[in-house]
Structure 1
Amino acid sequence: MSPTRRSTRRSLARRGVPRAAALALLLATVTACANDVPEADWSRGLLPPSITTQGDTVTNLWNGAWIAALATGAVVIFLIVWACIFHTRRRAKAELPPQVRYNLPIEIFYTLVPLVMVSVFFFFTARDTRELDAVSGKPDVQVKVEAFQWSWRFTTVIGGKTLKPVTGVPVNDYHQGPQLVLPVNKRVEFDLSSPDVIHSFWVPAFLFKRDVIPGLQENDKGRKFEIVTLNKPGVYAGRCAELCGVDHSRMLFNVKLVPQAEYDQYIATQTGSAQ
C-alpha cells in the first residue's frame, strides 16, 4: 500500500473517532437514558421499590424466574464439569466412554424435563399476566391518559366529576412536567390513547409500563390497566419508554400521591374549572 493511501486511511480513522463518539452521545440522548429511576434493591432481586400491589406480583415473578434460571445453570455447569473430569480420567486410560446412542430412557428424560420446566414457567407467567391485565370496571378514580408528541394530557374522573385536564409540554426535568395527582390506597384505572405514534406510559415506581397504541378502541385489550393500591405518598417520575420522535427524551411527567384529605382539597380547586 502506498504511503499516500496509508495517511489517508489514518486521517479518516482519526476523524471517525469523534464522529463515533458524537453518534453514541446522540443515541444516548435520544433514547433518554433515565437518571430518575429508583435505585435497585438487592433484597428485591435488583428491582426498585414498588408503590403498587402489582409491583409485588412483578417482583415475585422476577425473583422466581431468576431462582429457576440459576438453579438450572448450576446443574448444567456441574454436569459439564463432571463430564470433563470423569472422561478425562477415562481418556488417560485409553478407554472410550460408554456409548448411550439410542438410549430410550435418557432420551425420554432430557425431553420431558425441559418440557416440564417450560410448562411451569409458562403457568406462572400466564397467571401473573392475567392478574396484571385484570380490570374490575369499578375503580375509585379513572384517569384518561393521552400521549402525544411530545408530552401528556391527564383527565381525571372521580365520583362522576371530571377535573380540569392537565396538559404538558416537553421539559428537561420531570418535576417541570405535567403532574397527575392521585389519592393513596385507592383503585385507579388508566385509559391510554394516542393521536399520532406509539408511546409508552412508564412510572418506574409502579414496576409496570404499557404501550400507548394509536387506533385502539375503548374496549380493546391493552388500552386499559388498573393499579390496585398506591400506598406511599410522594412525587414519582414518569416518562415515555418508547422512542417516539425528536423530543422523546423530554416527554416527562410526574405522579403525586397524596392522602385523601389533601386530595379532597385538590378536587375542590379543580372541579369548577373543568373543560
Structure 2
Amino acid sequence: MAHESGGHCQDPDLAIVIISHGHDAMLPACIASLQPALTELSSEIVVIDNLPDGAAAKAVAGFDVHVLRNDRSVGFAANVNRGAAATTAPFLLFLNPDTEHREGRLIDAIRFLDEHPRIGLLGCTLVSENGTLQQNFRRFPSPAVPIARGFGAEHWPWRPAWYTRATMPMGRRATPFAVDWIFGAFLLMRRADFERVGGMDERYRLYYEDVDLAWRLRRAGLATWIFPAIRFLHVHQRASARRPFSRAWCWHVGSALRYFAPRVGHAPPPLMEPPDNGDGGP
C-alpha cells in the first residue's frame, strides 16, 4: 500500500524517485509497469506529491510505495534532492510519472555502471506512443541552440552544421554509447556520484537542471551514456514549447539564462568515450 511516511525495504539495491505534479492519472500505469524491470533487484519507490491536494497518495493506493507530500510546490531539482535524501539504496533512478517500462532490466544497467566506474549517469531509450524514438540526449548546448529552437529549427528544411552537431542525430543503436547530457525523464546513477557533485542545483525551478547535472558530473571526470536495451514509453509534453510566455516558458528562459551565464566563453568538456575496464570497452 501507499504510505505517507515510514520505513523502507531492508537494504534495497535501487531507489526510484517519481515526482508528481498533477500526474495522478499516470502514476498507476507507471508504477505497475516497473515489475519486470526490477527482476533480481530489491527496490524502494518514493513518490513526491508536488501539489498539496494529496491526490498522488490516492492514485497509488495499493502499491508498495512511499508518498512524500510537499506543503507547497517546489522545483524539479529540489524534489529530486528530497527524494534522494529520503532513500538509502546505493543506486538512484529519477523517473518521470509520464513513463511506462517497455523492455529491459534495470539490473543490467546497474551491472554496466559497476563495470564502468567512469560512467556516472545512464539514460535509456525513450519512445513515443506511436513507437517512434524520442531524442532524449544532446551535446552540451551553446546559447545559439535554444535561440534556434525558439525560431523553429526543428522544422527548418535545412539546418546549420553546428545545430545538427549539437542535437546529435540518433539513429538506432543497440549498444551503449556516450552523449553529453540526457533528459530528466530517466536518470540512473550511483548515489555516491550524485552526492559527490552535490545533487541537483535547486536554483533551477524547471529545465536545464539535467544539463547542469551532466556538466558537473563531466567536470568531476564522469561520463553520461545511453543504455539502449532499456526502453520506456514517454508521453513528452513540452509545456513550454506549446505555450509561449506561459509560466513554464518563463521558467525555461530563466533556467537557460542561469545555465549559460557562468559558461559564456568557456568550452564544454570534451565528449567522454574512454575505456575504463581494461578490455577496450567503454
State TM-score, norm by structure 2.
0.28
Q: TM-score, normalised by structure 1?
A: 0.28
Choose 1 or 2 for highest CA Rg: 1
